[in-house]
Amino acid sequence: MRGTQDPAGGTRADTPAPRRELPGHIAAALAGAGGATDSAGVPWSGRDLSGEAAKIHNFEDDDGTADAGYLAAVEALLEGRGGETDVVAALATARVFVPVMATLAEEADGVADSHGHTLHADKQADMALVTLKAPDGRTAMPVFTSAAALEAWHPEARPVAVYAARAALSAVSEGAQLLVLDPGSDFTFVVRRPAVWALAQQRDWTPSYLDDQLESALASTAREFPAVRRLETRQGAGTAARTAAGQTVAGGGAGPELQVVLFLEDGLDAAALQALLGRLNEAWAQLDAFAENVDSLEVKLQRAAQDTAP
């Protein structure tokens, strides 16, 4: 029974209202939503969704601004006081925003109600992660350090706050090899594949051009070829990036990050050089350290007579 206000000012008792059936599309959506449990299989019964339990993520008090540690690392990079390692290290503990966009889903499959009738769900808008194509054809995922940067990039994109490690995991699952930080902003920083994997696995990352063990492994392999007198690794020109104002920055670029300098004996013709480089590439590809730590490289050839090292 329930009480309602009579037009004359009194209160009268109503008879129970007849039970209303849910519209078919709503019933179908509910029927396919997991029933008495959530998507993780945890029962809804007994769940306390009040107070602290109501928080659905770790960023309830987030004001949407960029992480202070990341900004400091980028500032040091711009001023020449820091490097890519510092930026990725700061990013590892930073909150970022992943953009998602609404896409129209197909009509849901029919679901039978308790009377055996087939119910159909209306077409719905699903949320999908956004990916981009890099100039070299690889898939890249845009990630933003602030809500304002994401809104300026695409006002219809919805920001989802996650830690950078979670964003890296999402990139890997989407087949993206690059994370592009703040595209369209004053400075865009590209996180290349080895660093993306390091973030996803929550481990430290060392750029290939600073990896002494990698250099030793490449040199050890090269010593199997008599024409190679010496090898050294350097930071590749592809790591350079530019700000919107045109300033060149020694980090954050998407190009080849590793330069391998080969000091060769004199007398090699073009055919011999091509054969040597092909065999070296095959040998290096067998090294785990090369496959895991090198995103892309460039090879520079010099004659051994030009080697001025002691």
Alpha carbons 139 and 180: distance in angstroms, whole number: 10
- Helix axis angle for 84-91 and 68-78, nearest 10°, is 170
Which of helix, strand or coil describes residue 44?
A: coil
Domains belonging to the chain, first-starting first, are 68-106+123-200 (3.40.1350.90), 208-306 (3.30.70.1350)
pLDDT at 294: 96
Which residues share a beta bridge with 301?
A: 262
Phi-psi region of 42 (alpha: psi -120 to 50; beta: other; left: phi over 0): beta
The overall pTM is greater than 0.85: no
pLDDT in tens, 16-49: 333 333 333 333 433 333 344 433 444 434 444 3
- 3 state DSSP class of 273: helix
Percent of the chain predicted with pLDDT > 70? 71
Report the alpha-carbon angle 146-147-148, nearest 5. Answer: 90
> What pLDDT was estimated at residue 105?
54
User: pLDDT tens digits, residue range 240-297?
Assistant: 999 999 999 999 999 999 999 999 999 999 999 999 999 999 999 999 999 999 999 9
